[in-house]
Chain A
């Protein structure tokens, strides 16, 4: 079995305070082992004690996990090294041993200085600029031959999440998903955050955007008016969606149907199955959603509200799309890049009724962004948590009920 090891030192009144015992317990509990290399116990009460301990673990990941847990109790890694960088061997290819990021705040050590990694996101590499002493995450596809990429684990440290300052549902940072959990307090906390962020944004903050990633079930289920209201009232600033949400939203405006079902009476209308295709065709003829709204063809709804409110919309296509609508990005790497560009400044993310967009957005979000995932199917928030977005709070409920209740709590009269 391969083992990883690191030497830590500990100093202070570590015996009577049980700090040494606490650290040794933590190492064992977390699957590590230790050798006490040296202990000097103070002779008087005022004298401090000193310990040098070799910590071992079956994997480097476990070792790092242990080191992160014992550092707050005063354990200091004996020596700190600069991170090791290697040039990327080709465009779009990392060096073999590249460091793969988490979505937690991360630092790398360059020339004996810890430097923050910019644009934290999971599953990327880290490119460093030694001249300017900067580091940033870089997607595999964007790396260029010769870029200096961090390799191995040395000289990289991940900062655990600080306790959030807010005392609300997001503070627990746990993504237990159950349809039997009450919803109302979660929605109330989301509403409170949105009100605060809107106030901050109106006061000029560039770090207070609310992102909504949504699927077409929002339209089918009857959440369109509520979402439109939230956008018009300035509560939503970034929208991630696909071809379908936009198409059915504008279908509802042009024909009063969503995928051929009349929204007001709830049954299929003759030839309604073609309404969304006719909608897409109409917008393609006009050239863009913006032109369709500004010319008055599309009068109401989510897309019209987005155009009028200046919401940053990214529409990402899939292989099952009809059309697609103008503005839908059909190259998935380009779509990912466009979504990534919209992430800085997001202070709250709502992932509503879309597996694809929820997981894609979750992958892009730093752990520090409070996130709520709403889906009628419990597997979606579960999948999101399983893929590492542990900060996401899961709500198992339908999209329309969520959006209607959220809008009601934010002041919409029903």
Chain B
């Protein structure tokens, strides 16, 4: 059973611009955002079978809804994020409170080590990948490798539109990888090619990468992803995954989609 941390979008809005997708002039349709978020929750609970833990939203923290950036959780241990931009640093205390109240063994990082949680740390059971350069600091991965005793391969993110690893890189439960190669430098692309055998790499076309096809939630053989990514869905279905595509464009205005709206707890 998969447990996910989510936060209702009561105060979701665009109040600042910290990635290329955000435009304060691009007004969020709040009613539509709420409807899209509940649509996602409905699918996750009813069709995917995930258990949802809901955080209390906080006025003035519009991006608290993107719980993927709360931190990273393994077993009963949680490392809380250290956001690069001051606009999101105020979220740290609320995420930390939630982890503590839920009984996690909380690990905090020194303030100079930027780390944006599961947004920048993803992987398989034996090997993780860490996105750096845009938000998280590469120096955090050796520390996390110490904490979790895992291999963490840093990957340089070179396109500001794909500012977190989870916007261009999505490990799947069957060992395949859904990803958009051009978001990485040549070294990163080579590392991925070496680590992931031919046939396990599902390359997302640019038009669908820009709709955040890779910002998908994979639970078992279910993959929940934003609408408008037919080629990605076709590839997933050919590997036996059941796809659930949902309209999430209100959250794209902030540079986030399905995966950003959830944090895997187990």
Binding site for B on A (CB under 8 A): 11-13, 16-19, 21-22, 45-46, 48, 72-74, 76, 163, 165-167
Report the count of interface residues on B (CB-CB < 8 A). 31
A12 with B17: CB separation less than 8 A: no
Report chain B residues within 8 Å CB of A17. 153-155, 187, 191
Interface check B138, CB cutoff 8 A: yes
Partner of B18, one of A16, A46, A165, A167: A165
Quick check: A46 and B150 within 8 Å, CB to CB?
A: yes
B191 and A13 form a contact (CB under 8 A):
no
Give 21 pairs: A residue, B residue, CB < 8 Å, sorted on A: A12-B141, A12-B142, A12-B145, A13-B145, A13-B151, A13-B152, A16-B151, A16-B195, A17-B153, A17-B155, A17-B187, A18-B191, A19-B154, A22-B156, A45-B127, A72-B132, A73-B156, A74-B139, A76-B139, A165-B19, A165-B22
CB distance from A215 to the nearest CB of B (A): 34
Contact of A12 among B19, B133, B138, B190 (CB under 8 A): B138
Partner of A45, one of B142, B146, B151, B194: B151
Interface readout for B148-166 with A: 1 if CB under 8 Å, 0 if not? 0111111110001000000
**Apart from A16-B153, A21-B187, what are 6 other A-B pairs with CB-CB below 8 Å?**
A16-B194, A17-B154, A17-B191, A48-B142, A72-B133, A73-B138
Q: How far is the CB of B229 from chain A (nearest CB, A)?
A: 23
Please report the C-alpha to C-alpha distance between residue A163 and residue B149 in the assembled complex, in whole angstroms.
33
Interface contacts (Cβ under 8 Å), in number, total 62
B266 proximal to A (CB < 8 A): no
Q: From A199, which residue of chain B is reached at the shortest CB distance?
A: B24
Is B20 part of the binding interface, using a Cβ–Cβ cutoff of 8 Å?
A: yes
B47 at the interface (CB under 8 A from A): no
**Shortest distance from the beta carbon of A368 to any chain B beta carbon, whole Å:** 15
- Closest partner residue, chain A, to B149 (CB atom): A46
**In the complex, which residues of chain A have a beta carbon less than 8 angstroms from the beta carbon of B198?**
none
B121 to chain A, nearest CB (A): 13
Mask of B131-144 contacts with A, CB within 8 angstroms, 1/0: 01100001101100
B126 at the interface (CB under 8 A from A): yes
Chain A binding surface, main DSSP class: loop
Q: Which of A13, A21, A45 is within 8 Å of B154, CB to CB?
A: A13
**B160's closest neighbor in chain A, by CB?**
A163
Supposing A18-B187, A73-B138 touch, asked if A46 and B145 sit within 8 A by C-beta, the answer is yes
- Name B23's closest neighbour in chain A (CB-CB): A167
Within the assembled complex, what's the spacing in Å between the Cα atoms of A72 and B157?
A: 12
> Is B17 within 8 A of A166, CB to CB?
yes
Once the chains bind, are A74 and B17 in contact (CB under 8 Å)? Answer: no
Whether the pair B133, A13 counts as a contact (CB closer than 8 A) is no
Contact of A11 with B17 at beta-carbon distance under 8 Å, contacts A18-B191, A72-B133, A163-B160 already known: no
Chain B residue with the shortest CB-CB distance to A49: B142
Closest 5 CB pairs of A and B: A12-B142, A74-B138, A18-B187, A17-B153, A45-B151
Chain B residues whose C-beta falls within 8 Å of the C-beta of A74 in the assembled complex:
138-139, 142, 154
Q: Which of B155-203 contact A (CB under 8 A)?
A: 155-156, 160, 185, 187-188, 190-191, 194-195
Closest to B19 in A: A165
Nearest B residue to A165 via CB reads B17
CA distance A49 to B239 in the complex (A): 36
Contact across chains for A22 and B18 when beta carbons are under 8 A apart: no
> Is the CB–CB distance between B154 and A12 below 8 Å?
yes
How far, in angstroms, from A76 to B190 measured CA to CA in the complex? 25
A72-B138 in contact (CB<8A):
yes
Bound-state Cα–Cα, A21 to B152, Å: 17
Chain B CB within 10 Å, residue with most, of A12, A21, A73 = A12
Among residues of B, the one whose C-beta sits closest to the C-beta of A74 is: B138
Residues of A within 8 A of B138 (CB): 12, 19, 72-74
Cβ of A112 to closest chain B Cβ, rounded Å? 14
- Chain B residues with CB under 8 Å of A73's CB are 138, 156
A11 and B187 form a contact (CB under 8 A): no
Residue of B nearest to A163 (CB): B160
A190 to B182, CA, bound (A): 30
Contact B191 A16 (CB under 8 A): yes
User: For residue B191, which residues in chain A have a CB less than 8 angstroms away from its CB?
Assistant: 16-18
Report the separation of the CA atoms of residues A66 and B146 in the bound assembly, to the nearest whole angstrom. Answer: 29
Beyond A163-B160, A165-B17, whether A13 also contacts B187 by CB under 8 A is: no
A182 to chain B, nearest CB (A): 22
- Expressed in whole angstroms, the Cα–Cα distance for A163 and B146 within the complex equals 31
Interface centre among B17, B126, B154, B155 (most CB of A within 10 A): B154
Nearest opposing residue in chain B for A50, CB measure: B142
State how many angstroms separate the Cβ of A1 from the closest Cβ of chain B: 31
Given contacts A18-B191, A45-B127, A74-B139, contact A12 B152 (CB under 8 A): yes
Report whether B149 and A13 are in contact in the complex, using a CB–CB cutoff of 8 Å: no
A21 to B145, CA, bound (A): 20
Least CB distance from B18 to A in Å reads: 6
CA distance A166 to B191 in the complex (A): 32
Q: How far is the CB of B162 from chain A (nearest CB, A)?
A: 13
Note all chain A residues with C-beta closer than 8 A to B187.
17-19, 21-22
Nearest-CB residue, chain B, relative to A22: B187
Chain B CB count within 10 A is highest, among A16, A17, A18, A72, for A17
Q: How far apart are A189's CB and chain B's nearest CB, in angstroms?
A: 13
Closest chain B residue to A114, Cβ basis:
B112
Residues of chain B contacted by A12 (CB below 8 angstroms)? 138, 141-142, 145, 152, 154
A208 smallest CB distance to B (angstroms)? 14
Q: How far is the CB of B125 from chain A (nearest CB, A)?
A: 12
Q: In the docked arrangement, what's the CA distance between A45 and B190, Å?
A: 18
Provide the bound-state CA to CA distance between A46 and B149, in Å: 6
The CA-CA distance from A74 to B155 in the complex, in Å, is: 12
Given A12-B142, A45-B127, A48-B145, A167–B20 Cβ distance below 8 Å?
yes
CB distance from B140 to the nearest CB of A (A): 10
- A45 vs B146: C-alpha distance in the bound complex, in angstroms? 12
Counting chain A CB atoms within 10 Å of each CB, the highest count among B133, B142, B185, B188 belongs to: B142
Minimum CB–CB distance for A195 against chain B, Å? 10
B153 in contact with A13 (CB, 8 Å): yes
Residue picked from B17, B132, B151, most chain A C-beta under 10 Å: B151
